[in-house]
Structure formats: C-alpha cells, structure tokens
Structure 1
C-alpha cells in the first residue's frame, strides 16, 4: 500500500505530533504489550495512570478495567495492508472515545474510509523501515519527523513516543517476547502466546499469507529484544529509565521492579 513520503507527511501531520512534546515531562507511564504475563497484573491499578497500549489490547481482560491514554499500532496487519481494519478493533471503537491513537501513516486512507473512526483522536507517525532499524541506526528522537523500525511496536512507537512526551520512568508490562521461536506459518501460529486466546486473533489469515518476515539469522525473538534494549540504553543516557514491571519473559537485562511496589498508597485518582 502506497503512502506519502516523509516530507509530505511532515507538512501534513508534523504539527499534530509536536503538541505532545514534553506534555508529560517528569511523569511516569506504563507501556503494555499483550504477552501472557499481562494476565498476572491487577490492571485496575492503571486506571489513574498514563498508559500506552498496543495492537489487540482491546481483546485482553485488562482492557475491561481502564481506558488507555494512548493506543499504538505500527503493524500493517491490523488494517490488513489496506483492506480494512480487523473486526475486533472496529467493535472496540465506541469504547475508546477518550483515547488518542497513534497509527502508522500508511493506515490513513483506511481510517478515512472507516466510519467507526469518525470523531476519534487519530494521529499518524511515519515509520521509516527501509534499512533504518533502531538497532542499526539508533532512536530518532524527533518523532514528529519519523520513527525508525524497531521490529516491535514497543521499540518503534511506544518507547520513542513516551520519551518524546517527557516521561522519565517507563514501566513495561506484558512485554514478554517469548511468543514463538518459529517462522510464522499455519503450523506455528497456534503456538503464539498472548494475554488473550490467539484463536481470536483475527489478523492471522492475512499475517500468515503476507507477513514481512523478521527472522534475522533465524532468531526473531533475539532481534526484537535487542531493539528494545537499544532504545532503553539510549534513554538511560538521557536520565530516563525503562523498567520491566512484568513477570518472566525475555527482557532480563532491563532493571526490574515489582508492579505492586509502584502503588504504595493504592491506586491513583483517575
């Protein structure tokens, strides 16, 4: 699916992203992946927090307990490469009127043709994924210009956005990166583990057929994790710490913190 180039994107959407620069300076936020460990978190505690959620978060039990601040999607399988958003996302739109969406700019035409998105706060980021990965070239701090491909929405959208917004404590939940170590095929898709039933992942027929493979040297998980580490390391030099507040998973090199310890006085007021 075609999209405008970076210059055209910047002229059209740059200002809509610039308004988020340092909007949460000095605050903390929670970035939620959809790994199985998310099921072990008391998500009701997040109701008064700044949250960035991802992909099919709306299918998790956690989605029933709070309204996310930001919703990020960089993977084109969610809008099926231009064929339309998957049904589970469309069904969720009426419940997300207080949420700001950050989508890859390629999705704009599909959003404009989708009535369910009318009236929602949709912002677009330009994902530069041709030979410009985070791991190889570092984080591009000016996200209003473009973001580099992190091979996971956590590394290319969520973390750069959170830093751009001024957060200096970023807590990861459900970012397990242990969902499969096999190529994405009909046989291996059933082994993918999420915080929801993978059989309900209505992207899978499109993904199996057309997924852009990420198996560098045969190990996708190591590559995804390395991109997250690269972002976290860059942020640590700026006085911003990325913590793993989940249980288990493959982010062992990040500093860890017990989720419950972050709420010594109970849940914050929403």
Structure 2
C-alpha cells in the first residue's frame, strides 16, 4: 500500500512541495484559523487528524522553520522521528525532485565553459566576445542584457534573499535554471528548473568548515558562500575539463564586511556599486553580507579537487583580488 504523505506546516517552507503537490495527501497546521481551508489545492487539518491514521501508513514531513518544536509535538503524539516523520529535504529527495539533474551528467565531457561573476569589472562587450561559448551565469545577470546579445547557457542561484528580491525576473530567464533547494520556497515551481540539495558543513560549534566538493550533484551540492562554487560543482558534474572565470572580482566596495555582528545588510543610497550594474541591488533590499574568508576557503577546495581530477580553472577577470586560480587574458581564450 502506498503511504500517505502529510505536510506539517503551511508557511513559506511548504512551497517546496508545489513541485510534488500531486503526491501530498493533505496538510496539518497548528493555526486553528486555517483548519478546514485549502493550501496548494489540498485540505488543512489540525494535528489531531494524524491520530486517526495508521502510523505505518504515514510519512509526515515537517515544512517549517520550527522543526524542533514540531518534532517534539509529534513525539508527544506518539510518532517516531525517522520512522513516522522526517525533515522536508529527505522526503523531497525520496520523491526524486533532486535526481532530475542527472540528465546533465557528463553532457559536456571534455569541453570548456565560462563561469560568469557579477563583479564591477564585468562588461557587456566582454560577454559579447564569448557569445558562442557555453557559459554559466547567476542572480541579476539579466541587467547586462541591454549591453550585449550574449545570453548564458545555464543559470544558477543559491541565495534565498536574492530569490525573494528577483523572483519575478527569474521566471523570464530563457535558460535551464539550477537552484539550491531552499530558494524553492521563494521562487515556486518554474519551467526548465532543476533543484539541487544544498548542504552547509559545520563543526561542533556550528561554525562553517571549508566545504567538500561534490562529485555527484544529483545527491548533494555543497554551499561555499558564493554561487560561483555552486556553478563550479555543476560544471564538473557536466564533464567540463576546462573552466574560465570572468567577472569574479572578489571585491565588494561600499559594503561593510562585518560578519561578526551582521549576517545581512540593506543597500543605502550612498553605497558605491559592488556589482556590474548600479541598480544590481535596489535601495532597501536585504542581502547577505559577502563572507570573503568562507568564499576563499571554498575556492581553495575547488582548486584542490579539480586539479586532482585533471580539470583546469583559469581566472580571466579584468580586475580581481582572487589569487587562487591562474590569471589569464580573456583575449587569449577567444576562439
């Protein structure tokens, strides 16, 4: 008998299940005002509804930022973690939402690709030089379209704040999109989009460790505090043996890099451009503060891993403070 999948929670986190809504039996929520209503075309019930079900016929998934509290609530109702209820990510993975990317494994074996950063040095004229190359780009890259007829082959995104800020614009990007799974709650289902199970590696004190480099992004892809690290792992999975970076300035003028006391910042009118377009971040938008030490560790992990696999990475950025990859002139790489 097929088990019933019940989602506990109807907030933003539950939007991840839009991709598999036909697999969901119903939702439960602690908010009495929602009981008897509908969420994502399925009914909403009180937690007591779960007691009317045969436990062995249930898969309860917690789609909420309050996982620990809800887990305790379910335990008090007699449900066992790992047997009756699970984290949302593990259920989504079991439903195959992350495995679709396997269509791209070694798709470009032995080829070369450009990974585009959004630093101040990036220009439309440089992108026009590589318009016939395979390329990865991310976030607000569409702001450069007015300067060039270049378009990315693939689009990537990992940041939940960016996803919230530009969710409408992303819908119109005409390229296969590869996104870290937490952004699904902000972006919702999109055509031609692949969701990857992103993982942050922490030590016992909950501090970030240098991330591993994924050899199989259909299973897991590691967070390196920069979307470029995400793209590097994806490029390796696709089989590229040569990768050229462009627009990776590794420099954020105008942004206070105080990550001890602040994790995010809001742009003000006085800030200078930290990206290639003056309106890359709009005034008042919330964004993560760049964590340069974590990013540097991630780039080092990528360089060490890719070298061991015979994959060459070059940095053709016009202005860059990133010293890990060999620096080259873009013109020398134009075919």
Query: TM-score under structure 2 normalisation?
Result: 0.64
Give the number of the structure with larger relative contact order, counting CA–CA contacts within 8 Å between residues 6 or more apart. Answer: 1
> What is residue 248 of structure 2 aligned with on the other side?
175
1:9-28 counterparts in 2 under 5 A? 9=93, 11-28=95-112
Q: Provide closer, same or farther for how the CA distance between residues 203 and 228 of structure 1 changes in structure 2, counting only shifts above 3 A.
A: farther
Q: Provide closer, same or farther for how the CA distance between residues 73 and 62 of structure 1 changes in structure 2, counting only shifts above 3 A.
A: farther
8 Å CA contact retained: 1:134, 1:149: no
> What is residue 36 of structure 2 aligned with on the other side?
none
Query: Which of 189, 211, 224 is 1:150 aligned to?
Result: 224
The secondary structure found in structure 2 opposite 1:53 is: strand
Task: Using the TM superposition, give the Cα deviation of residue 229 of structure 1 relative to its aligned residue in structure 2, in angstroms.
Answer: 2.1
> What is residue 326 of structure 2 aligned with on the other side?
255
1:54-203 counterparts in 2 under 5 A? 54-61=138-145, 64-80=148-164, 86=166, 90-91=168-169, 93-94=171-172, 96-97=173-174, 99-112=175-188, 117=190, 120-129=191-200, 131=202, 136-155=210-229, 157-179=230-252, 180=255, 182-183=257-258, 184-186=264-266, 190-197=271-278, 199-202=279-282
8 Å CA contact retained: 1:101, 1:123: yes
8 Å CA contact retained: 1:28, 1:167: yes
The secondary structure found in structure 2 opposite 1:49 is: coil
8 Å CA contact retained: 1:134, 1:150: no
Query: TM-score under structure 1 normalisation?
Result: 0.78
Q: Could you list the runs of 5+ residues in structure 2 that have no partner in the other structure?
A: 1-11, 14-62, 64-87, 259-263
The secondary structure found in structure 2 opposite 1:251 is: coil
- CA distance in structure 2 between the partners assigned to 1:62 and 1:52 by the alignment: 18
Larger mean CA deviation between 253-262 and 41-50 belongs to: 41-50
RMSD between aligned alpha carbons? 2.7
> What is residue 37 of structure 1 aligned with on the other side?
121
Q: Could you list the runs of 5+ residues in structure 1 that have no partner in the other structure?
A: 215-219, 265-270
Task: Using the TM superposition, give the Cα deviation of residue 11 of structure 1 relative to its aligned residue in structure 2, in angstroms.
Answer: 3.4
Q: Provide closer, same or farther for how the CA distance between residues 224 and 36 of structure 1 changes in structure 2, counting only shifts above 3 A.
A: same
8 Å CA contact retained: 1:78, 1:203: no
- CA distance in structure 2 between the partners assigned to 1:226 and 1:56 by the alignment: 24
More helix by share: 1
Q: Provide closer, same or farther for how the CA distance between residues 19 and 63 of structure 1 changes in structure 2, counting only shifts above 3 A.
A: farther
Task: Using the TM superposition, give the Cα deviation of residue 93 of structure 1 relative to its aligned residue in structure 2, in angstroms.
Answer: 4.0
Task: Using the TM superposition, give the Cα deviation of residue 44 of structure 1 relative to its aligned residue in structure 2, in angstroms.
Answer: 1.1
Task: Using the TM superposition, give the Cα deviation of residue 136 of structure 1 relative to its aligned residue in structure 2, in angstroms.
Answer: 2.7
Q: Say how many residue pairs are matched.
A: 240
* The structure with more radius of gyration: 2
